[in-house]
Structure 1
């Protein structure tokens, strides 16, 4: 079931459009030169001048892109002229593999860093040792202040809508705007609950559990169930069989249903369809059926960890976690009863407009963040023999969400690499940890400056299935 957590075709930055020009920025110019070009220049001096201006424009674009990389991502940008061969791929006599790798380079925004072969990976101890010690210090007062601010923002937005937007058909456009705004704001408390689930909120366990359980239950999230499955996701990031959430399908043969669909109705239709199914249906599909979870766990359900679920080779909710799942259900049942009481007294339309519609937007944000943190055309997954914790952590990617979303969502998308390296870092110290990782591991840290809406379109349209690539790194790359 290919529904939950994933996302389109983008050209990385600098105002340049078109795959051909982007390819020129990535590859050596001689491979793009055409026979007879010199003769045409001699015959038409005007064209030579135009070519000179074009070459100058390309040079300026390269300089701008290097500066963007240094300022925004700290990526290693020694050269932009990436090819499959320069990244260590053995593609001689393998035109299909060569084409796949070079298409990933053209479409992606990471300059081939994630696809480079035979890298000398640091140890887990070396990676964790790069995190400044003070980044691990949790400040209870500061965490509570952020939790209170996010909660008050949601309550204020809801109050203003209840007070000033009439419950009429004519006001539907205003209610749509409210749903988008409130759903976006409510993602903040969601992230705070996520902090609690990671033991990153405070040292007082009872307080941390109380805050996390309350905030997640208010957003219809089974707190302990998701805490467990999300911990598995962190422990097996980008693992093809034991990963949890956003584990891609393996393509058998030369095509899959989405590439076939693209040929008949267009790539845009594929992107639009997958964005709807993932962003709208993805979260309930994951909670109720384990959609995009790793095959090792079989079909799973975050509300019922018994038969007919819990049928995989590995149990997603082993031992005491089964009881914790049921404890999560107590909160969900209580929240459902509260909503039913509200609907009985104020009407279903009021509940939908003020709560359910914004909740759908919050769920969209959750799926979007998780999808883009671990998926793109130039980010590989790994088989059991070649996966390591370090590879998983460093195949997480940070993206530019801007100051407003970073404030509202506590930098969940722009400091996610550091979060995967050490999930106990409070979000308000993740920026410092990120800078330390960029400085210590510039050839492993991933930052894609592609605007998020373009990255979403690229991932939804292009990241439909993977195949294992020939080579000794055990990489599964998107077709």
Structure 2
């Protein structure tokens, strides 16, 4: 028997709970006035459904659904419940379909797009000095304090990535040659080829949360998940307990294969690869010569793993949540993907300083031309003009637990299906995370 509740956000079908399709609100010409568009009714989504239930006397009971008011899936109360459940401060309202990215960009003051050489080079000074301080701590710290020294140094070297990130978006300097040089140098200690990353990252911004075209992380596709038991096991671990280091796999797969780039990109890719390999050929032997293999592990490998922890964590928090959809290109909307599909997350102040506010991420997706040192001013402006549509969080364990244990296999209707719903007998890593990860926000 089918039951629909007008005051609930769920539809009970047999033994499974599924979300009702949400209704949307579209603004009229009058500010603050909204028109309720009954898409569910106009598209014929509410249909009569029959469910047969065998009784003891084998008679059949037929239940026919009737049209009811849409569920309050987009109500303020429901969003608050989801925020609490997922570990968010706020889950934004759905952005109306008629709002464009240009509409949002035009509400930002021109000063947030201005490049300031003093501020840009100040960020370089912060990263260089904090990284040098980290190496000093590693050299002097007793063994039991090494994890703290590695955490600091890995976070500091993440600041190098953010500087290269600004250079790639042409928001570091007015001199484009300087940007390419600084970007290449900043990426070299990370063994990250600058130009390959820049090309792929530009496509991420152009196709954010587009299911097949986005070059950042994707949900797992069901066809690949069921294709091979070995691959399935690797995926369960990779998108489960090892997900905070999955950027290592992304780094290897996407940035060193010349076949993944357009013909007009290949020459610049080769230059970046040559720079990275030169650093490995000169820098690594020099570290080993001075400090030995253990020194290479202490001074380079462990901070590099710390960097990838932040690279992975930042990336998945920016665009991954049960309520944030990936969409096919036909259904994709740029403004919704960039404003509604990006998450602002606050981290401890020392992380924000060393990483140059990279996690003030929504304005960066509204316009990648905004320098990192202007992101906070831009975010404040977005809060004033578009605040009710923003997804915002403060980093917490419940947020991480939600991502690691729920956001797995792509599903068009409910965005994600968790591994343990599909293959509970093979999802011991997910069960382990649910058991051991803290649940406080």
Give the TM-score of the pair, scaled to structure 1: 0.66
Q: Extract unaligned runs of 5+ from structure 2.
A: 1-5, 11-18, 25-38, 52-70, 418-441
* Cα 1:321–1:457 shift into 2, 3 Å: same
Higher mean C-alpha deviation, range 397-406 or range 224-233? 397-406
Contact 2:90–2:390 (CA under 8 A) maintained in structure 1: no
Check if 1:409 corresponds to 2:387: no
1:288-309 CA deviation, whole Å, 9 max, x = no partner?
224xxxxxxxxxxx12313xxx
Check if 1:289 corresponds to 2:253: yes
Secondary structure in structure 2 of the residue aligned to 1:447? strand
Map 1:154-233 to 2 at 5 A: 154-162=131-139, 164-165=140-141, 171-233=142-204
Contact 2:91–2:392 (CA under 8 A) maintained in structure 1: no
Q: Extract unaligned runs of 5+ from structure 1.
A: 1-26, 32-82, 166-170, 263-269, 291-301, 311-316, 470-475
Contact 1:187–1:408 (CA under 8 A) maintained in structure 2: yes
Secondary structure in structure 1 of the residue aligned to 2:408? coil
Aligned to 1:375: 320
Aligned to 1:144: 121
Aligned to 2:107: 130
* Cα 1:253–1:240 shift into 2, 3 Å: closer
* CA apart distance, 1:344: 2.9
Contact 2:134–2:150 (CA under 8 A) maintained in structure 1: no
Higher strand share: 2
Aligned to 1:386: 331
* CA apart distance, 1:255: 9.8
- In the alignment, the residues of structure 2 paired with residue 271 and residue 365 of structure 1 have an alpha-carbon distance, to the nearest angstrom, of 21
> Size of the alignment, in residue pairs?
353
* Cα 1:371–1:85 shift into 2, 3 Å: closer
Q: Which has the bigger relative contact order, CA under 8 A and spacing at least 6?
A: 1
**Pairing partner for 2:92 from 85, 94, 113:** 113
- In the alignment, the residues of structure 1 paired with residue 85 and residue 294 of structure 2 have an alpha-carbon distance, to the nearest angstrom, of 44
1:21-61 CA deviation, whole Å, 9 max, x = no partner?
xxxxxx969x9xxxxxxxxxxxxxxxxxxxxxxxxxxxxxx
Aligned to 1:21: none
- In the alignment, the residues of structure 1 paired with residue 146 and residue 46 of structure 2 have an alpha-carbon distance, to the nearest angstrom, of 58
Give the TM-score of the pair, scaled to structure 2: 0.72
Aligned to 2:387: 442
- In the alignment, the residues of structure 1 paired with residue 352 and residue 157 of structure 2 have an alpha-carbon distance, to the nearest angstrom, of 13
* Cα 1:441–1:346 shift into 2, 3 Å: same
1:331-380 CA deviation, whole Å, 9 max, x = no partner?
11111112123213421101110111111111110111011100011111
Aligned to 1:247: 218
- In the alignment, the residues of structure 2 paired with residue 110 and residue 85 of structure 1 have an alpha-carbon distance, to the nearest angstrom, of 24
- In the alignment, the residues of structure 2 paired with residue 454 and residue 272 of structure 1 have an alpha-carbon distance, to the nearest angstrom, of 19
Secondary structure in structure 2 of the residue aligned to 1:113? coil
Aligned to 2:59: none
1:266-314 CA deviation, whole Å, 9 max, x = no partner?
xxxx99864542223x122112224xxxxxxxxxxx12313xxx3xxxx
Check if 1:461 corresponds to 2:419: no
Aligned to 1:351: 296
Contact 1:250–1:466 (CA under 8 A) maintained in structure 2: yes
- In the alignment, the residues of structure 2 paired with residue 322 and residue 85 of structure 1 have an alpha-carbon distance, to the nearest angstrom, of 45
- In the alignment, the residues of structure 2 paired with residue 126 and residue 140 of structure 1 have an alpha-carbon distance, to the nearest angstrom, of 29
Contact 2:90–2:391 (CA under 8 A) maintained in structure 1: no
* Cα 1:358–1:112 shift into 2, 3 Å: closer
* CA apart distance, 1:176: 2.3
